[in-house]
Chain A
Amino acid sequence: MERQLFQRAKEAFLSGRARPLEFRLQQLHALQRMIMEKETEISTALKQDINRSQYDTPLLELIGIENEIKLAIEKLAQWAAPRPVEKNLLTISDEVYIQPEPLGVVLIIGAWNYPWALTLLPLVGAIAAGNAAVVKPSELSECSSLLLRALLPCYLDKDLYPVVMGGVSETQQLLRLRFDHIFYTGGSTVGKQVMEAAARHLTPVTLELGGKSPCYIDKNCDVRMACRRITWGKFVNCGQTCIAPDYILCEPCIQGRVVECIRQTLLEFYGADPKCSPDYGRIINQHHFNRIVSLMDGYTPVVGGQSDSSQCYIAPTVLKDVPPHSRLMQEEIFGPVLPIVTVSDMDDVINFINEREKPLALYIFCSDKKAIKRMIEETTSGGVTVNDVMMHYTLSSLPFGGVGQSGMGCYHGKHTFDQLSHHRACLIRSLNMESVNRARYPPQDRRRAQRARMALKSPLIDTSKRTLVWAVIATILGIGLFITLMVILLIAAGLNCTCWYWRGFYN
């Protein structure tokens, strides 16, 4: 079944119909219509999958998809155009540029926590880049997957963008096929398997993985405001966000305050009983519910801690004084449990972060610019937001992706287009000027060799549009100034003559 859908997508791609810009734009417009027209159905599916509130759906997924589509539609012609690069003396009369081209058939494996955004954002880039795409949504967000499978063929080309349903076994079947790129969002364990499978066909991969994203609160910052922002980021989607702040690092002297501020903010956001709040989500399934509850074993929460397995409900929970080497600090929590680990000073924070795997995101709450600079320079992570959480994800001009165990490759906006394109280096020469080439041909002598070396070493000239425009403006200004100077000199000379004349006359 998977093979058939893949074959059809491949044949459709080879027919060339996904390539013209008009076609890509038409598909993007259709996808845009789908999101707008089916918002209610999507919200319903998400409510059934993960108890997502009706406001969270547009907020967390749909607005983002709409904006990505709008950007792609607006910028597609620019993104797909040839990109000229510098030339040297040898190639001065040639055309030298990078041409973005489609790769072929892309496999997009989505995740269950944001089943629409994490599947459709890569699809927007795949379509914009002129590829076909096999979309494999997560089986854990079943209602969303079924809806996606029903909707996509009604709006998009049926052959180019098939949806494949299923679990582990269907995904493994797909991974045996030869794709031209695999875009995977999920955990590191499966990420490794995806990369290993891709090795067989030498298929390049983009892996958007996770990890434990640290969140440092400096004792001299506005702790109250920091806690508000952190609370929002941590408990939205019930903590099931790859870039949610996983744990807090702070000095012992402010730990109590941090706990209090979070408690107050939780009250403000979800009321006294978050279980009754329509804005608070649930854990995706029993397996993850059990996993998160067992992580809390042996700890006495200072906030929350309640759970109800019949609803997969876990209250927003905070744990303090968590030991750095505890089980809670070994795996990504991916749930509404927020441990606080105390550190002695900034050196300690930096060492703590660097001893562990490179995270997908790092959060720093601090008012001291020097300290912020130092923390950024002495650590690494997929991305960083300072004095807030998750916001670097929202700016599509920033590349979003991990490093090390948190992932490889990046996307959003133009970066998705670039990630799913091949950047073909193009040199268009003519068969003229053959005499220039003679220097490099055998039989060789010293003079020829010198000439060849000179040509190869000639400095690079940037003939991009911007430089040309500046060159033209500078030339015009230069000529203008020269003419003005000449006119002034002539007038002065003329005046001088006249003066002499009149002087002579009077004399």
Chain B
Amino acid sequence: MDSQSHVLERLRTAFRSGITLPEEFRRTQLTNLLSMVRDNEGQILKALHQDLAKPKFESILSEVDIVVNELHYAISNFRNWMKPEYVAKSLATKLDECFVRREPLGVVLIIGPWNYPLQLLIVPLVGAIAAGNCAVIKPSEISSATDRLVAELIPKYLSQDCYAVVRGGSEQTKALLQNRFDHIFYTGSQAVARSVVQAASVYLTPVTLELGGKCPCLIYGRINIQAAAHRLVWAKFFNAGQSCVAPDYVLCTEATRDALLPALSSVLEQFYGKEPQKCPDLSRIVSARHFTRLMKLLEQTKGKVVIGGESDQEDKYIAPTVVVDAGEDDALMAEEIFGPILPIFTVEELEKSIEFVNRHEKPLALYVFSDESSVVKTVMEKTSSGGFCSNDGIVHMTLPGLPFGGVGASGWGSYHGRWSFETFSHRRACLIRGWGLERLNTLRYPPYTEDKLKWLRWTTSQQSSCSLM
């Protein structure tokens, strides 16, 4: 196994050679990546099941298909994204060529998490390749089967000079971060994100941070409770609640809660049967440590478990659980739950509910369920979040036209679709002038006169031009 510095040297040399720049190279790599996912779908599903007991359906929908979609989208469009973007000109630059070039940054680092170990590692890689970079990818060691599989497959399908997988735990990640990269893309927790930014600051490396937070779900106004319950349960308990955009907690009136609880119960039974532990469509908690963390939350909560609550330590199984009557200072509000526990807080007025949300960090996603568009509008205007979805959960991140990312404590930067390409590109402003029109230029040269200034003010006061600084 090459040392980290050897790997980086190899990638840097490859990047400097210019091999990643031509369209053909990028297309080949992206197509190979597509083949990698398609040819090995069975093994991928097996690894995901080993890591998270992910049901085959969830793995296909939320991992394989999302990656394949992103690849198709990138392959169809990256050629256009690469083209120079011509911009509006001022009077002074009317005869010049003015455009923005998208250029690769160099050698980028992508650090993936364990909850969607394929998607959250490969989707950024798609953008990095399409933008012409070399990349070091660091899968999470917690989802160890996927980690092993990715390390085995990537060198078989992608250029080994340009893309490398580095494996290891937190020590190896720390060591990796001591090196100089041209961009660092990190998905994970806030605590680690801080050390990523600190390490990046040494070399002034730009970063993209896809973090998490507590995604609130507000249910107010007139509501089709059955439809809402279906979508809420799906979004919350998908991957056993281990999604950065899962609805973390619900805010609603007491009346809504009383109507919601039986609906949730019935939907849960519909989805996972009377004994969810036996249902093949429900995932498990990723590790003993996270299982313990979640069980501790259930022990410490001052709320009441009204649905679920069962668990099995050996199986790392926690039943889909709903908790009510907890206060805002409850243990369940102290950290992102990231598990199949759904607290419901009752707040009678929408305004107070919004204040509740705004007392906490800006979340990665914010959900509102309501048949009243005024409710949706009010919540959207008075809150902030990475993304916003009304009357559903999670699906907003499946649209490659929308930038996916956080704000404030939930993250910095965004990606998906074209946004991935932009994240891993430098937008270089280019102005190509001719040799003519020197007379116009003399207006800016000393010795300065009132007249020259008057003319300059006039020419530069035309649309879209700054001063001649």
Say yes or no for B1: interface residue by CB 8 A criterion.
Answer: no
**A61 and B431: CB pair below 8 A?**
no
Residues of chain A within 8 A (CB-CB) of B434 are 387
| Residue in B closest to A413 when the chains form the complex, CB atoms | B464
**B61 and A59: CB pair below 8 A?**
no
Q: In whole angstroms, what is the CA distance A369 to B417 when docked?
A: 34
**A393 and B396: CB pair below 8 A?**
no
| Residue in A closest to B425 when the chains form the complex, CB atoms | A403
**A387 and B432: CB pair below 8 A?**
yes
**A58 and B399: CB pair below 8 A?**
no
| Residue in A closest to B385 when the chains form the complex, CB atoms | A424
Q: In whole angstroms, what is the CA distance A204 to B193 when docked?
A: 12
**A391 and B433: CB pair below 8 A?**
yes
Q: How far is the CB of A178 from chain B (nearest CB, A)?
A: 9
**A202 and B392: CB pair below 8 A?**
no
Residues of chain A within 8 A (CB-CB) of B90 are 394-395
**A386 and B432: CB pair below 8 A?**
yes
**A71 and B69: CB pair below 8 A?**
no
Say yes or no for A33: interface residue by CB 8 A criterion.
Answer: no
A62-70, A140-148, A328-336, A478-486 - interface stretch: A62-70
Residues of chain A within 8 A (CB-CB) of B296 are none
Q: In whole angstroms, what is the CA distance A56 to B413 when docked?
A: 38
Q: How far is the CB of A84 from chain B (nearest CB, A)?
A: 9
Contact check: which of B66, B206, B234 meets A440 at CB < 8 Å? B234
Q: In whole angstroms, what is the CA distance A323 to B389 when docked?
A: 60
Say yes or no for A311: interface residue by CB 8 A criterion.
Answer: no
Q: Is the interface of A mostly helix, strand, loop or mixed?
A: mixed
Q: How far is the CB of A316 from chain B (nearest CB, A)?
A: 11
**A397 and B98: CB pair below 8 A?**
yes
Contacts A202-B409, A391-B96, A394-B93 supplied; 19 other A-B pairs, CB < 8 Å = A53-B448, A56-B448, A199-B194, A199-B195, A204-B413, A280-B446, A377-B21, A383-B430, A385-B431, A387-B432, A398-B87, A399-B427, A409-B206, A426-B387, A426-B389, A427-B402, A431-B371, A442-B55, A457-B65
**B100 and A398: CB pair below 8 A?**
yes
Say yes or no for A257: interface residue by CB 8 A criterion.
Answer: no
Question: A residues engaging B (CB < 8 A)?
Answer: 16, 53, 55-56, 58-68, 70-71, 85-88, 90-91, 96, 98-99, 101, 103-104, 114, 117, 180, 188, 191-193, 195-196, 198-200, 202, 204, 207, 209, 221-222, 225, 228-229, 232, 241, 268-271, 277-280, 354, 367, 372, 376-378, 380-388, 390-400, 403-405, 407-410, 412-413, 422-432, 434, 437, 440-444, 449, 452-453, 456-457, 460
B24-32, B169-177, B224-232 - interface stretch: B224-232
Residues of chain A within 8 A (CB-CB) of B390 are 427-429
Residues of chain A within 8 A (CB-CB) of B100 are 398-399
**A425 and B197: CB pair below 8 A?**
no
Q: How far is the CB of B403 from chain A (nearest CB, A)?
A: 6
Residues of chain B within 8 A (CB-CB) of A64 are 466-467, 469
Say yes or no for B88: interface residue by CB 8 A criterion.
Answer: yes
Q: Given A394-B92, A395-B90, A430-B391, answer yes or no on A441-B271 (Cβ-Cβ < 8 Å).
A: yes
Q: How far is the CB of B328 from chain A (nearest CB, A)?
A: 19
Residues of chain A within 8 A (CB-CB) of B96 are 391
Q: Given A68-B466, A443-B281, answer yes or no on A98-B403 (Cβ-Cβ < 8 Å).
A: yes
**B446 and A90: CB pair below 8 A?**
no
Contact check: which of A88, A202, A380, A452 meets B426 at CB < 8 Å? A380
Contact check: which of A53, A87, A99 meets B401 at CB < 8 Å? A87
**B466 and A279: CB pair below 8 A?**
no
Residues of chain A within 8 A (CB-CB) of B89 are 395, 397
Instruction: Mark each residue of chain B from 76 to 91: 1 if its CB lies under 8 Å from any CB of chain A, else 0.
Output: 0000000000011110
Residues of chain A within 8 A (CB-CB) of B386 are 424-425
Instruction: List the 7 shortest-distance A-B pairs measured between CB atoms, nearest first.
Output: A85-B401, A64-B467, A55-B448, A199-B197, A63-B467, A442-B281, A195-B201
Residues of chain A within 8 A (CB-CB) of B430 are 376, 383-384, 386, 392, 398
**A61 and B428: CB pair below 8 A?**
no
**B414 and A384: CB pair below 8 A?**
no
**A180 and B223: CB pair below 8 A?**
no
Say yes or no for B334: interface residue by CB 8 A criterion.
Answer: no
Q: In whole angstroms, what is the CA distance A183 to B461 when docked?
A: 26
Contact check: which of B182, B195, B399, B403 meets A88 at CB < 8 Å? B399
**A380 and B204: CB pair below 8 A?**
no
B3-11, B254-262, B452-460 - interface stretch: B452-460
Q: Given A199-B201, A279-B447, A412-B466, answer yes or no on A59-B399 (Cβ-Cβ < 8 Å).
A: no
Instruction: Mark each residue of chain B from 393 to 405: 1 if its CB lies under 8 Å from any CB of chain A, else 0.
Output: 0011111111110
Residues of chain B within 8 A (CB-CB) of A196 are 197-198, 201
**B444 and A59: CB pair below 8 A?**
yes
Say yes or no for B60: interface residue by CB 8 A criterion.
Answer: yes
Say yes or no for B441: interface residue by CB 8 A criterion.
Answer: yes
Q: How far is the CB of A235 from chain B (nearest CB, A)?
A: 9
**B469 and A393: CB pair below 8 A?**
yes
Sample 15 A-B pairs with CB under 8 A, ordered by A number. A59-B444, A59-B456, A98-B403, A195-B197, A202-B209, A384-B431, A390-B469, A392-B429, A394-B465, A395-B429, A396-B465, A400-B429, A425-B404, A431-B371, A437-B234
Q: In whole angstroms, what is the CA distance A449 to B57 when docked?
A: 7
Q: Given A198-B197, A404-B204, A426-B396, answer yes or no on A204-B428 (Cβ-Cβ < 8 Å).
A: no
Q: Given A87-B401, A198-B197, A404-B182, answer yes or no on A443-B61 (Cβ-Cβ < 8 Å).
A: no
**A67 and B445: CB pair below 8 A?**
no
Q: Given A61-B469, A86-B399, A202-B409, answer yes or no on A382-B429 (Cβ-Cβ < 8 Å).
A: yes
Contact check: which of B66, B384, B400 meets A424 at CB < 8 Å? B384
**A101 and B431: CB pair below 8 A?**
no
Say yes or no for B105: interface residue by CB 8 A criterion.
Answer: yes
Q: In whole angstroms, what is the CA distance A331 to B279 when docked?
A: 66
Q: How far is the CB of A370 from chain B (nearest CB, A)?
A: 13
Q: How far is the CB of B250 from chain A (nearest CB, A)?
A: 16
Residues of chain B within 8 A (CB-CB) of A405 are 204
Q: How far is the CB of B362 from chain A (nearest CB, A)?
A: 8
Q: How far is the CB of A400 from chain B (nearest CB, A)?
A: 6
Q: How far is the CB of A79 from chain B (nearest CB, A)?
A: 13
Q: In whole angstroms, what is the CA distance A490 to B425 when docked?
A: 59
Q: In whole angstroms, what is the CA distance A430 to B228 when docked?
A: 10
**B201 and A395: CB pair below 8 A?**
no
Q: In whole angstroms, what is the CA distance A409 to B426 when docked?
A: 9
**A228 and B445: CB pair below 8 A?**
yes
**B467 and A384: CB pair below 8 A?**
no
Q: In whole angstroms, what is the CA distance A268 to B438 when docked?
A: 15
Q: Given A387-B433, A427-B389, A453-B65, answer yes or no on A96-B402 (Cβ-Cβ < 8 Å).
A: yes
| Residue in A closest to B449 when the chains form the complex, CB atoms | A55
**B469 and A117: CB pair below 8 A?**
yes
Q: Given A67-B466, A202-B209, answer yes or no on A456-B414 (Cβ-Cβ < 8 Å).
A: no
**B87 and A397: CB pair below 8 A?**
yes
Q: Given A87-B399, A431-B391, answer yes or no on A61-B230 (Cβ-Cβ < 8 Å).
A: no
Q: Given A202-B412, A456-B61, answer yes or no on A394-B460 (Cβ-Cβ < 8 Å).
A: yes
| Residue in A closest to B466 when the chains form the complex, CB atoms | A64
**B433 and A202: CB pair below 8 A?**
no
